[in-house]
Amino acid sequence: MSDKIPQSRKFLYYAGIFITIIGFILFLSRFIIVFTGNAFNFNPMISFLGIILIIFGQFIRSVGAKGLAGSGIILNPEKAREDIKPYSKAMGGVIDDVLENIDKSEVKKEIIKIKCRSCGTLNDEDSTYCKSCGEKL
């Protein structure tokens, strides 16, 4: 099991983003052409191709990010766990960081009370006499 995302998946991820951008440009080109008044020459297939590329790009990006099992294309929970391990690992790191930032002196400050042998009242750690009945602790 590796904690790092394989190079091939990184490549897929960035390729997916690239394809998505190309898709957007193709898709938006329709509107640009409409604004410039050349709409009549526009082939609607280019817009359609743009949408296909956006969907395909997102698909590739998702597979790159989470792997085939991790993105749900292959139904394999064990493999999925391995695929998204870099993320769960990172998430664990985030939790560790949060815990680290909590003031440890605050957490460790325990409240110790002394129970009076006579009446059972809980008194502060440093008190000599019971605050309720006055008995020596």
H, E, C per residue of 47-95 = HHHHHHHHHHHHHHHHHHHHHHHHCCCCCCHHHHHHHCHHHHHHHHHHH
Identified binder of Zn ion from the candidate list 8, 38, 118, 127, rule CB under 5 A: 118
- Is 124 among the residues that bind Zn ion (CB under 5 A)? no
Instruction: Give the binding range for Zn ion (CB under 5 A) out of 21-29, 58-66, 95-103, 123-131.
Output: 123-131
CB 84 within 8 A of CB 67: yes
Binding mask 69-108 for Zn ion (x = CB under 5 A): ----------------------------------------
- Is 122 among the residues that bind Zn ion (CB under 5 A)? no
